[in-house]
Structure 1
């Protein structure tokens, strides 16, 4: 059965009743009167935001000019959110409890804005929206209005870290904020429509990773109001015992509060809600005290059964019951704008006025429009206000990471190609030191791929955190650790976003092909960063750092399903101020790149690097200088001897760099008189015009590297058209020819994979012969030889299952 207050347990199928035994501590009536007044005020302000642009206190009858010409916003879920906020405020004030509210139903934006205005934090952040009648009018007018604020909780909303524009991420964000915040209570309202999303469905597993001593507490509140836009919700229609079993199966102890149906007096619902929250917070204290005792005694900390609250209320509670003879409250018709014709329809406008006056605004606001004193009886003060908590403006809490130098972890490269190592393997040792130096502010998250991606050195200093059952044979798994692994990319992304937005640092490592699962989540975070950069009170947060490995060119035992470098294309669609893309060609450039990324702010950094052992090109000092430049000539691989080249070979990515260098080697052997320049790109944004991206090269510098009229053969890690997109404004763009991934793949050898996509060294030489004037006719035999070499290598793989020895053993000739 769902748990109710002590002595008051009932199943989800039971009707609410006042005859049930009283809980151990019943809230005082005056307390709940203040809570109800605050709730009514928040509802009034929420309705006003949707409809009004003038006459905010109804000091005169509503006229058409008081109504917005375009009615945008969502009412249906808002009164439930206001109800929760009012009651959580009472708990915060009583217990002096630091709390953060995450509102999953993004369409409840009017309520979150109303709460911030009532608590005063909205006016503190947006001083032109004063806490009086004039400010109330501005609050109403700006909502879903040109030049105003969005209709959902967004970066402009004080207290919010969860972008309401897309559903599904609230619970993951909540746990991300709770990690390493042991004193924080994160209440997370989950809409029953949102609960149908894959991201949210997976997020219930998060409580298996939250430590009851080292991490904060997440209280999920599943708000069942029955409907989404135009349809019923799944969880509101399944059997009560099935919903209970679902929540219990996810490790929760469910509590039920339901009410507001059939005209029930809200006072009764307030009593049940307050009593239930009292029991829930008491249970949370018991859980944390028991865990702390186990921890102090050195015993295994058990996985708790954390409370979850199921709140069942009508859709559009306290709004119009019927409109034009159709039921609205308690149906999908309450989802958006229950009275759509108030500007032109006198009856609708009169009904809106009755609706607004039903909240008795004269009891809530004084003659100047300020909230009356009794509304603040249970509103926390200062940073304890959920709309003002620094945990929702993480830059206020952010501290720089203590980053180790990369010198101790750098690869000693006596000469280009002299040593072969795994780039991510070298990075793993450095990350281990990052973890050791930052034991409470840095986490690594990923879908069971830390070892696969060769970062296992981090397990020398930490473990995977897991509160489920531990068994003999588990390696590097413990109750507390700095690595969070779950085979759900959306959950990793959501955790990390919540962790960063509440003031910490982290890294998301993932297979390149499957990071696409979070494309939409990436979109929302990028939009959040773009908006927050223009908000003066939003402090910069740590960058979201992706390390993508097991990439397209090295999928020896997986194949076509694991071959997709397109996340880079998706990332580069976003505003240039927000995104960065790095393709370090070896271990030392990867170390220098990650050192830069972990120190950056308000960015999304995507780093793509291989995990397989391969030749190393630059020593640590050269690598750092190369990363600072982001692009540069490799003099040791050029044959133009400081003069104008005949051809430029560009490369970006570790495997394309190998193939480009091998092509230079072939050209030096077979065309010794040809002047070849090799340009390597680490920072992909350097290819753009300086007017299009902060990292872009000037035309002068770009032309100096790539010339204004010579052929450029570019070997690129991803889809080739991306290079054209980045360089289309350049003078020499007509002469740039790009080789990259063209959606050809299978389970095959590394070199056969590059041949399938015409990125191999032989094909690059063919491109040079075809594009440098005079070579095509004069060196037809060499071109044919390159074609034959491709055939030879292809035949070898088909006969032996391995690449030809001369390909596998190739090294840079000057080594």
Structure 2
């Protein structure tokens, strides 16, 4: 094989010739690369004798060999060449390391440039520090084998296959001077999220945003199989990438000298093209969508490692994926081969007698915050500014009497978000993302302040499409999530608005982000970042057009399974409570906040002051809705969480007030779902004494809940009153039907709740048999009515809270 840059026609690039490496520069780059490879192998294998000052013995080798060699040499190559161009051009740059387990390579680069020691002073840049660097890797009490929150300069978890490119674009948005290089593994490139994220280049504004330089690393294999893109002929792959709107530059080879020269030439070419694109847009006001460069890097898997082990090919095959020599402690032949492999990098030329990198190794390294491991953009909390959320009084709806007037909660929220957009117009650190649903979710007021980001063709019939817009829509929840995470991790604010049923698409992505947040909370050098805020609307109870396929409220179950310190779930029951909730989550740090709120007309229950107090409590008694007189305990508690369940619970309370006036009913609304957990299990959880005072220890609790009923049981199962808890919620009954029929189908309706009260309050079943029968008859009449008239019963459709 040979190394040859193939850059085709340089669209938009400078016409100046690209400088080639001098012999001294080549020597320096190769020394840095060899040092990184040596450190990578050492991390995988060694726990002592890091500089091979004596022959390698079994006790120098870790008892458990964990790590991934196959992808690492190419990552070391990229790290080395990024160092060169960052120093030569004084670039502000970070890198997203996509290949799953390239951790030892990135740690090696960070140790060499000194940023690792700066972050962890005990891992010194000498022999003693090298021992600690080696020993900690994939070792109990140490660091993971992949790039992780503990890795300086990282904003991307190495295990998150498929998300690297969308993270890179999210980091580049509104960062006009930042270069975000993104290494994409060819295994990762087979995932759906990565395939969709290639289209992010249609949303990158060369005036206001930074640049993303994708590097597709093709080493040919995944764990045990060839990769699709690596087996495509170069021309077919080139056509595919051009079809995505990129200008691919190819580097192919296995000879280190030739690959270094080709990589340097190609990096320079790509950066010249990027500079020309930005200059054309910013100074000459070019409006054509640019064709951004990218690099296709083909090198052997496990490059420079053992070519054969036990007579079987390793380098350039899937066998190099993890640990090429797996029996080093027990097989003398493997031990000798490991020592020969490590000595092939000539460590005596790379490190001095104290184990410090020699001057030749450090010659091309940038300094200070220009180092990849020290760039503050990769510790985004350092840049975070308070989001200017305006006073809520301007947007709050008046509530003279609860349950009389109706508003669309998310439409009112849209007015507030418009002002946030307006107030961040110059600083550009707030974005709204979603899959084609901003207007559908009633947030279209934001278009008065900013349009939708769009760099592709615009037709006369289009609306709100602008270059540099800060609303981003693409029908890929994965890409929306990746953009949001990259934006937040570099210190800016975002809101992800989505239909409730389809946010499940990003289950694994939010799982990884929550794990990231949990880990960073334990790293004092990581500054808190803005929270990942979901607004889930078009929810399960109001799918009048879409029906059963759009009905799934289970995302909150998934989130509440995760680290309690990092997750919050809110279900505001009306407009003012949504405003109060939004104000809180938009100002918060280091959380994943899930806010579930409807977009359809909803009764106003609380004034703004009442809503603020209710949100501060998270759960509370609505005394105006119940019939307690303060002289005795309630006979029953009607609890509710979510806008539609709250309406049904209050309508049930109204029915009980009219039909069973002597019954003492307490109404409890829960807006912060985690309040139901014990205090020792979640920071927002209630102590038993508070829970018992609110829900009682022994009275029936009929709980109308927005989602799957078993979640409430799981949260409250340890409470003394749990045997008396009966939950109504969504139970996978749905279709395209009327709003009230949806709650009837799932036994969440007001009549069913009244029947539950009668069934569960001791002594009431006989005394209130006639009332129960009336409730059941009304449900039967409802079924006939909607089939004849197509709308809900008048007493349901016209109901308001009595005054």
Query: Equivalent residue of 1:776, what SS?
Result: helix
Alignment of 1:627-706 (within 5 A): 627-642=615-630, 643-706=632-695
Q: Residues 737 and 363 from structure 1, CA distance in 2 versus in 1: closer, same or farther, beyond 3 angstroms?
A: same
| Aligned equivalent of 1:796 | 785
Q: Tell me whether 1:285 sits opposite 2:275 in the alignment.
A: yes
Equivalent residue number for residue 529 of structure 2:
541
SS of equivalent to 1:637:
coil
2-structure distance, mates of 1:704, 1:339: 63
1:613 and 1:4, CA in 2 relative to 1: closer, same or farther beyond 3 A? farther
Answer yes or no: is 1:257 the counterpart of 2:247.
Answer: no
Q: Distance in 2 between matches of 1:323 and 1:483?
A: 54
Match of 1:813 in 2: 802
Spell out, residue by residue over 1:428-474, the C-alpha distance to the aligned partner (whole angstroms, 9 max, x if none). Answer: 00011111112211000000000000001111111001000011011
Is the 8 Å Cα contact of residues 23 and 275 (structure 1) preserved in structure 2?
A: no
Matches within 5 A, 1:141-220: 141-220=135-214
Give the superposition deviation at 1:519.
Answer: 0.1
Matches within 5 A, 1:261-276: 264=255, 266-276=256-266
Aligned counterpart in structure 2 of residue 476 of structure 1, from 452, 464, 469: 464
Whole-angstrom distance in 2 between the partners of 1:516 and 1:448: 16
Q: Aligned ranges for residues 86-105 of structure 1 at < 5 Å?
A: 86-105=80-99
Q: Deviations over 1:540-563 (max 9, x none)?
A: 100000000000000001011100
The 2-side partners of 1:294 and 1:740 are apart by 59
Which residue is equivalent to 1:15?
Answer: none
Moved more, 446-455 or 800-809: 800-809
Q: Secondary structure at the match of 1:444?
A: strand
Number of the residue aligned with 1:510: 498
When structure 1 is superposed on structure 2, of 23-32 and 412-421 the one drifting more is: 23-32
Q: In 2, are the aligned partners of 1:93 and 1:379 still within 8 Å (CA)?
A: yes
Secondary structure in structure 2 of the residue aligned to 1:577: helix
* Equivalent position of 1:14 in the other structure: none
Q: Deviation string for 1:209-234 (max 9, x for gaps)? A: 00001000000000110001000000
Query: Does the Cα contact within 8 Å between 1:4 and 1:10 map onto a contact in 2?
Result: no
Q: Distance in 2 between matches of 1:277 and 1:720?
A: 56
User: Can you list the C-alpha shifts for 1:377-399, whole angstroms capped at 9, x where unaligned?
Assistant: 11111110011101111111111
Residue of structure 1 aligned with 2:29, choices 29, 35, 40 = 35
> Structure 1 unaligned runs (5+)?
12-21
8 Å CA contact 1:5–1:279 kept in 2: the answer is no
Match of 1:620 in 2: 608
Q: Equivalents in 2 of 1:275, 1:24: separation in Å?
A: 6
Alignment partner, residue 329 of structure 2? 343
Indicate yes or no: 2:562 matched with 1:574: yes
| SS of residue in 1 equivalent to 2:168 | helix
Q: Provide, for residues 495-514 of structure 1, a one-character-per-residue CA deviation record: whole Å limited to 9, x for no partner.
A: 00000001101100000000
| 8 Å contact from structure 2 (residues 409, 599) kept in 1 | yes
Pairing of 1:109-128 with structure 2 (within 5 A):
109-128=103-122
CA apart distance, 1:294: 3.6
Give the deviation of 1:23 after TM superposition.
5.4
CA deviation profile, 1:714-758 (whole Å, cap 9, x unmatched): 000000011111111111111010000111111111100001100
Measure the CA separation in 1 of the matches of 2:582 and 2:270: 43
- Structure 2 unaligned blocks of 5 or more: 11-15
Kindly indicate whether residue 300 of structure 2 is the aligned counterpart of residue 306 of structure 1. no
> What is the match of residue 135 of structure 1?
129
**Paired position in structure 1 for 2:406:** 420
Q: After superposing the two structures, state which structure 1 stretch, 397-406 or 519-528, moved more.
A: 397-406
Question: Structure 1 CA distance, aligned partners of 2:615 and 2:116?
Answer: 42
Structure 1 CA distance for aligned equivalents of residues 5 and 125 of structure 2:
37
1:731 paired residue number? 720
**Shift of residue 804, structure 1, vs aligned partner:** 1.1
Q: 1:355 and 1:516 mapped to 2: Cα distance?
A: 46
Match of 1:17 in 2: none
Q: Could you tell me how far apart the structure 2 residues matched to 1:445 and 1:63 are?
A: 56
2:377 is aligned to 391
Q: Mean alpha-carbon deviation: is it higher for 399-408 or for 197-206? A: 399-408
**Structure 1 segment 758-773 matched on structure 2, within 5 A:** 758-773=747-762
Equivalent pair of 2:5/2:250 in contact (CA under 8 Å): no
Residue in structure 2 matched with residue 755 of structure 1 by the alignment? 744
Distance in 1, matches of 2:638 and 2:710, equals: 17
Question: What is the CA distance between 1:42 and its match in structure 2?
Answer: 0.5
Indicate if the aligned counterparts of 1:5 and 1:23 stay in contact, CA closer than 8 A. Answer: no
3-state SS of the aligned residue for 2:216? Answer: strand
Q: CA deviation at 1:293?
A: 2.5
Deviation at 1:697, TM superposition (A): 1.0
1:301 deviates by: 2.2
Equivalence map 1:471-620=2 (5 Å) = 471-620=459-608
Superposition misfits of 4+ residues, deviation over 3 angstroms: 3-6, 8-11
**Counterpart-to-counterpart distance in 2, 1:294 and 1:761:** 64
Tell whether 2:735 aligns with 1:746: yes
Separation in structure 1 between the aligned mates of residue 140 and residue 94 of structure 2, nearest angstrom? 30
Q: Give the whole-Å Cα distance in 2 for the aligned partners of 1:361 and 1:464.
A: 54
Q: Which residue of 2 aligns with 1:48?
A: 42
Aligned equivalent of 2:216, options 205, 214, 222: 222
- TM-score with structure 2 setting the length: 0.98
CA drift of 1:699 comes to 1.1
* Count of residue pairs the alignment pairs up: 793
User: Following TM superposition, by how much is the alpha carbon of 1:9 offset from its aligned partner in structure 2, in angstroms?
Assistant: 4.5
C-alpha distance in structure 2 between counterparts of 1:674 and 1:759, whole Å: 21
Partner of 1:234: 228
State the 1:418 CA deviation.
2.2
CA distance in 2, matches of 1:205, 1:25: 32
**1:58 corresponds to which residue?**
52
| C-alpha contact (below 8 Å) 2:163/2:193 kept by paired residues | yes
Deviations 1:602-655 (A, max 9, x none): 100000000001211011111111111111111110101223100000000000
CA contact (8 A) 2:18 2:268 kept: no
CA distance in 2, matches of 1:48, 1:330: 21
Query: Residue 34 of structure 1 contacts residue 377 of structure 1 at CA under 8 Å; is this kept in 2?
Result: yes
Of residues 434, 437, 449, the one that matches 1:446 is: 434
Match of 2:297, SS state, is strand
